[in-house]
Structure 1
Amino acid sequence: MAVEDNYKVGHVIMITLSAAIGGFLFGFDSSVINGANVALKGYFNCNDMQLGLAVSLALIGAAIGAYFAGRLADKFGRVRCMLAAAVLFFISAIGSGLPFTIYDFIAWRVIGGVGIGVASIIAPIYIAETSPAHLRGRLGSMQQFAIVIGIFVALLSNYIIVRISGSASNLIMGIESWKVMFWVEAIPAFLYGVAAWQLPESPRFLVSKGRMEEAQKVLSMIASVGIKEKAQEIEDSFKTHKPAKLSDLLETVAGKKRVAPIVWAGLSIAILQQLVGINVIFYYGSMLWQSVGFGESDAFLTSVISSAINLTMTIAAILLIDKIGRKPLLLIGSAGMTVTLGILACCFLFGSDASGNLTGNSGIFALLAANFYVAFFAATWGPVMWVMLGEMFNNRIRAVAIAICGLAQWGANFLVSWSFPVLVGKDGIGIGPTYLIYTTFAAISFVLVAKLVNETKGKKLEAM
């Protein structure tokens, strides 16, 4: 009987769920700004450029956190990195609700961004390293599931606060409502720290440090038989292991160095996951729908509905990823996003009046297209990208490769998030042309996945 058939699945799931709280905070922290950006603009009297920076500079922090997370995880362990991320989330949540200027607000958000970057890298690594191959896709999807739950809870929390106060700019017990939105995050940040404190260290990290007895003890918590064999299998994969460095991502072909194809594949899916514009919906959704004629409360509700669809379709992805496979889901998602983004772009291009408000049935079609777009993303690219980054690289380069891909992913996220208010502002190209750009990248993603990405379904990490 294969070792994978004897995993203590219940315990593995509990470990995965605890680790995925980092994903929840990732989603919450990145989306809580959605409800505050209009109020922020008025509170600090900032322009479109400054608003874009207030929203997006946290992503530079995320890029920094993602880049160094892999190295720190290899040096200090996965669990310690999770604890550090929890502290950063907590500090950012409190500080973001106590800003004096737009600049110290940005600083607090950048601190939280570093936490996001660390959590975005550590959770996929940890989950992949504590999961059996035949369940790794579903368990890895828990990271994305937790992210979308975090997004949903953040937007729902914002909506409830606005319903109570009447507006994000109004007061609750003498405090501006948008400040309360950020303070709510301190609760799950504290819980993440408590959960991470209880987690066992990754057996692959322990083996890499020569701590075989500890690794076997952790493996005995995860699997019921074949403990020594599994530990030996992991150790064998590290026999030629040296500290990972950037040059390990290169290969020599005909005497010349080039970036390995697997790294190009990882970079492609990491960058394109953002260039299709998904986070415009979750960072600027409320502002977007208000700008085309929706009232503030309705705009907040629309964002909550989109987030609920995101959550529901991520569940579908968890059920499908180990049956259909990673690559087919990516291709389905690319095709669906290309069509729905194209429809959304046409609604804004041809269905709005001189003031930019959607007219006639354009509003209905735009909402439907936007929510189908979210559904396609959530069922495919949302979870599959993170699962593949956690499993597509071999043990020797995994940490450094994921760090580079995470850096690229957050860089693309920053570019999209910073540019959106500038592109759709009074001096920009407008909403319709902006969505045409996202449509183009969705089409490109189909071609690149077809050419570069290999299936990883069911393969052991040691076989990558």
Structure 2
Amino acid sequence: MNANKKRISPYVILISCAAALGGLLFGYDTAVISGAVGFLQIKFTLSSAQVGWVTSCILIGCALGVSIAGILSDLFGRKKILALSAVIFALSSLGAAFAGSYMILVIWRMLAGIGIVLTSLITPLYIAEMAPSNVRGKLVSVNQLAITIGIFIVYFVNAAIASNATQLWNVSTGWRWMMGVGVIPSLLFLIALIPAGESPRWLSQHGKSEAAYKVLQKVEISDEAAEKSLEEIQMSEEVVDDTKFRDLFNKTWLPVLIIGVLLALFQQFSGSNAIMYYAPEIFKGAGFGQSGAFMATVSIGVINMVITIVALGLVDKIGRKKLLGWGSFAMSCCLLVVYLLFQFVSLYMLLLA
């Protein structure tokens, strides 16, 4: 019995990897602007404010997507919304690649933001509802790893495109290829979803118990385990939750709510995203040539991916709080070093002048 509990069906691995491609797209579309932004500034003669807007406008789409992601997944199912996100990613990649003006590019980037939110919210939910309980946490963590892999891939793609071409070609065409290559993982994501079934929990909630059981037969290692999982799903649906929204503000949950919101807020305000979005331009400002700047950016993607793997192995051993605390401290030190190095370079150049 213990051996059976540790087994994972090939179907579960397949659908988890398929769903995790959504995380890869999340990372790809988030970081693709890092290689293109310098060329876009020249192409469309953008001011500093416009550069910031074309970089961050994707977050407007994310904000819009948050308001509809849960509703759509409850109405139409997890799989259908993941497929929709793949289509959105493909369309936004093509639209951005062929954008003839700054504003058109912004619109397509906002659409990509909607796709990002759909995948970032639905992918872990879908994996969690499909995976057996004994491996659920491990398989959900695959999504986070896929995000960092997506960031690494886009850094590598950007470097491959920009490093082997002239500045003139990159300004006119190179950045379009950076945007357009996103169609490939989008189509792979869509194809990978074809053999995946719908979430058994969603099927059960919509009165499709027989269909839910058929999916669970593929997920679980035996028919008995599938029947037990279906019973547990149906029993959980019968539990009446009498909590209200105002309960979040009582003395028990308010401190937890404040801590959770502040953690998310300060994580975004830390400045780490600025490194991810502007890495090639930062390296160019530090004196790197075009090719060197892009290759140095690839190293960031590698480190990001490796540390994610290490963190996934440590999170259950040393605890969330310690890992978050030491991670925040290390990030603060690194950002301070970046600041001091740029101040040193500026002072050095001033003295030379």
| Same fold flag (TM > 0.5) | yes
Alignment of 1:12-161 (within 5 A): 12-161=12-161
Contact 1:281 / 1:303 at 8 angstroms: preserved in 2? no
Matched, 1:233 2:232: yes
How big is each residue's C-alpha offset from its partner over 1:358-401, in whole Å with a ceiling of 9 and x where there is no partner?
Answer: x9xxxxxxxxxxxxxxxxxxxxxxxxxxxxxxxxxxxxxxxxxx
Amino acid aligned to 2:194:
W
Measure, in 1, the Cα distance between the counterparts of 2:6 and 2:213.
Answer: 15
Q: Structure 1 324/227 Cα, relative in aligned 2: closer, same or farther at 3 Å?
A: farther
Residue 347 of structure 1 and its aligned partner are, at CA, apart by: 3.0
User: For residues 30-429 of structure 1, what are the structure 2 equivalents within 5 Å?
Assistant: 30-167=30-167, 169-170=168-169, 176-225=173-222, 226-240=225-239, 248-251=244-247, 263-349=257-343, 351-354=344-347
How far apart are the structure 2 equivalents of 1:25 and 1:190? 10
2:37 is aligned with what amino acid? N
Q: Supply the distance in 1 between the matched residues of 2:47 and 2:131 (Cα, whole angstroms).
A: 47
Q: Assess if the C-alpha contact under 8 Å between 1:208 and 1:238 holds in 2.
A: yes
Shift in Å at residue 146 of structure 1?
A: 1.0
> 1:9 Cα deviation (Å)?
4.4
Deviations 1:167-217 (A, max 9, x none): 3x4159xx6111111111111111111112321111221222222222222
**Residues of 1 paired with 2:126 and 2:264: CA distance?**
19
How far is the alpha carbon of 1:130 from its aligned partner? 2.0
1: CA distance, partners of 2:215 / 2:306? 33
Shift of 1:258: 9.3
* Cα deviation code 1:290-312 (max 9, x no counterpart): 12322221111111011011112
Matched residues in 2 for 1:113 and 1:92: separation? 9
Alpha carbons 2:163, 2:290 under 8 Å: kept: no
Do 1:7 and 1:222's aligned partners in 2 also have CA atoms closer than 8 Å?
no
Q: Once the 2 structures are TM-superposed, how far is the Cα of residue 332 of structure 1 from its aligned partner?
A: 2.9
State the Cα deviation string for residues 428-461 of structure 1 (Å, max 9, x = none): xxxxxxxxxxxxxxxxxxxxxxxxxxxxxxxxxx
Q: Say if 2:32 and 2:179, in contact at 8 Å, map to a contact too.
A: yes
With 232-241 and 179-188 compared, the bigger mean Cα shift is at: 232-241
In structure 2, relative to structure 1, the CA distance for the partners of 1:259 and 1:73 (3 Å cut) is farther
Q: Which moved more, 1:13-22 or 1:203-212?
A: 203-212
Q: Cα–Cα, structure 1 residues 237 and 314, in superposed 2: closer, same or farther, change >3 Å?
A: same
> Contact 1:216/1:231 (CA < 8 Å) preserved in 2?
yes
107-116 vs 331-340, greater mean Cα deviation:
331-340
SS of equivalent to 1:224: coil
Q: Classify 1:152/1:328 alpha carbon distance in 2 versus 1 (closer, same or farther; 3 Å).
A: same
Superposition deviation, residue 356 in structure 1: 7.1
Cα–Cα, structure 1 residues 348 and 56, in superposed 2: closer, same or farther, change >3 Å? Answer: same
Q: State how far apart, in whole Å, the 1-side matches of 2:337 and 2:79 are.
A: 44
In 2, are the aligned partners of 1:135 and 1:322 still within 8 Å (CA)? no
Q: Which shifted more, 3-12 or 38-47?
A: 3-12
1:107 CA drift (Å): 0.6
Q: Note if contact 2:200-2:215 (Cα within 8 Å) is conserved in structure 1.
A: yes
Letter in 1 for 2:247: E
| Cα separation, 2, equivalents of 1:285 and 1:133 | 39
- Give, as a single letter, the amino acid of the residue that structure 1 aligns with 2:186: A
Which blocks of at least 5 consecutive residues in structure 2 are unaligned? none
Q: Structure 1 CA distance, aligned partners of 2:178 and 2:137?
A: 33
Letter in 1 for 2:211: E
- 1:79–1:197 CA contact under 8 A, matched in 2: no
Change (3 A) 1:272 1:135: farther
Q: CA RMSD in A?
A: 2.8
Q: Give the partner amino acid of 2:28.
A: F
Cα offset, 1:70, TM superposition = 1.5
Amino acid of the residue matched to residue 84 of structure 1? Answer: L
Query: Structure 2 CA distance, aligned partners of 1:99 and 1:182?
Result: 10
CA distance in 2, matches of 1:137, 1:268: 25
How many residue pairs were aligned?
350
Q: Which moved more, 1:5-14 or 1:86-95?
A: 5-14
Partner of 1:412: none
The code of the aligned residue for 1:280 comes to A
Gaps of 5+ in 1: 360-464
- 1:251 is paired with a residue whose SS is helix
Letter in 1 for 2:346: D
